[in-house]
Structure 1
C-alpha cells in the first residue's frame, strides 16, 4: 500500500515540475526545484495526515482529525510565499509566484489525498492560464508599469525633453526621482505603459536623444 502512496507523491512532484518550468521560463524567483519540493512536501504531509496514524485508530482514548496536518500546510506555506514578495522601485514583485506556490501546495495535497483528477486538472488550468495571460492577444492587453533608469547629460531642459517624449507616446509618469551629479543626471522613473505597448519599444526613442548616455528597463 505504501508504494501507492509513494506514487501519489511522485505524481504531485511531476505537477510541481510542470508549473515550475513555466515560472522558470519567465525568470521568476521560484522555479522548477521550488515548486517540485513544495508539491511533494505537501503530498507527503497529506498522506501522513490521512494514513500515518492507522496504528492509533484502535485506541478508545485517542481521537484523530485527519484534516489537522492539512490545515497547517495551508497556513505554513504562506511563510514561504511571503519570501517571494518584494518591492522593486516602488512596485510589488512576486505576487503571482507566491500565489503559485500556495496553489502548488494545494495540488500536492489533493494528489496526496487521492484526488488525482482534481490535482492534475488544476495543474493544467494554472499552466494554461499563465500561458494565456502572458500572451500578446490585443483583447487581453492591459496597461502595465515599468521602471526606467536614465542617465543623461546635465544640460538645461534635458529632463523636460524626456518628460515630453514619454507623454508624446501616451506614457503616464507615476513616480519621478532625479539625482544631479557633476556632469550628468540620474533619472529613476516609474511609468504606466499604454495597453499593448512594451517599455522596450521606448528604448530606441530615448537613446536617439543626443543628451542621453544610458537607459535601462527594470
Structure 2
C-alpha cells in the first residue's frame, strides 16, 4: 500500500479479524471471571473501534484532493476514546460494601484503544498491549488475592429478639473468630405481645460491616449464627 489514503479489501479483512481475536482474548478472561462485560462485549468494542479507525483514515478519500477540505485521520478516533467512557460506566456497581467493575471498565477502555491501533495498522503495539493486559488480568489477580489483599469484607445482617442478649452474643461470636466489626447499625422495633409475661418483646436488626484476614465461609457462619438463641434470620453478602 504505497498510497497512504488507500487500502484494499484484504488488509481491511486482516485488521478486522485481528481486532476480533485480540478483543476476544481479553473478553474471554472477563467472561470466565463472570464479569458484566464479557467475550461478546469486548469483541464488539474492539471491532467497532477498528472499523471507526478504518473509516477515519480511508473512508473520506474522495475528499482528500478538494482544496477546501482538510482531512484529519484521528478525528473519529478521539470520539471513540471519549464515548467508551459511557459504556465503561455501566459496568461499575456500588454494592453497599465496595465498588466493583472498575477493572472491567478499564479493560473496555484498553480494548477500544487496541481496536484503534489495529485499525491504524499498528499490529505489533496492539498485540503486545493485548498480551500485557491479558497477563495483568489473569496472573496479577491471583497474586493480589493471595499476597496483596490482607483482608476480606462482608456485610452481615442478623435479625432476632433483643430479650435474649442478641447484641452481646453476636459481638462475642465475631470476637472469638477474630473478625473486626468496622461498622454496626442496630434497629429495634416492638413485636407486640411478649412471649414471656413480665418481659418486653422487641425485634432487632443488626447490620455489620466486617473485616477478616481469613476468608469466611458464609454457609458455615450462617449456620452457627442461626443456632444462637433468639436469632431467626441471617443474611451475608
Normalising by structure 2, report the TM-score: 0.79
Q: CA RMSD in A?
A: 2.4
Tell me if 1:73 matches 2:92: no
Aligned residue number for residue 176 of structure 1: 184
Structure 2 unmatched runs, 5+: 1-7, 192-201
State the Cα deviation string for residues 127-154 of structure 1 (Å, max 9, x = none): 2112223216743343343333444565
27, 32, 46: which is aligned to 1:25?
32
* CA positional deviation for 1:158: 2.2
* CA positional deviation for 1:70: 0.8
Aligned residue number for residue 208 of structure 1: 224
Larger radius of gyration: 2
* CA positional deviation for 1:99: 1.1
Aligned residue number for residue 11 of structure 1: 18
State the Cα deviation string for residues 137-192 of structure 1 (Å, max 9, x = none): 74334334333344456553223332333344343323333445748654433222
Q: In the aligned structure 2, how far is the partner of 1:152 from the partner of 1:21?
A: 44
Aligned length: 215
Aligned residue number for residue 167 of structure 2: 159
Q: How does 1:109-188 map to 2 (within 5 A)?
A: 109-135=116-142, 138-152=146-160, 156-180=164-188, 182=191, 185-188=204-207
Q: In the aligned structure 1, how far is the partner of 2:21 from the partner of 2:186?
A: 48
Change (3 A) 1:104 1:62: same
Which shifted more, 134-143 or 47-56?
A: 134-143
* CA positional deviation for 1:54: 1.4
Q: In the aligned structure 1, how far is the partner of 2:129 from the partner of 2:169?
A: 49
State the Cα deviation string for residues 196-216 of structure 1 (Å, max 9, x = none): x2233x642452241255544
Tell me if 1:49 matches 2:68: no
Give the conservation status (yes or no) of the 8 Å contact 1:8–1:114: yes
Q: In the aligned structure 1, how far is the partner of 2:158 from the partner of 2:116?
A: 47
Q: In the aligned structure 2, how far is the partner of 1:73 from the partner of 1:80?
A: 11
Corresponding residue SS for 1:208: helix
Displaced runs of 4 or more, over 6 A: none
Q: In the aligned structure 2, how far is the partner of 1:173 from the partner of 1:125?
A: 38
Tell me if 1:190 matches 2:198: no
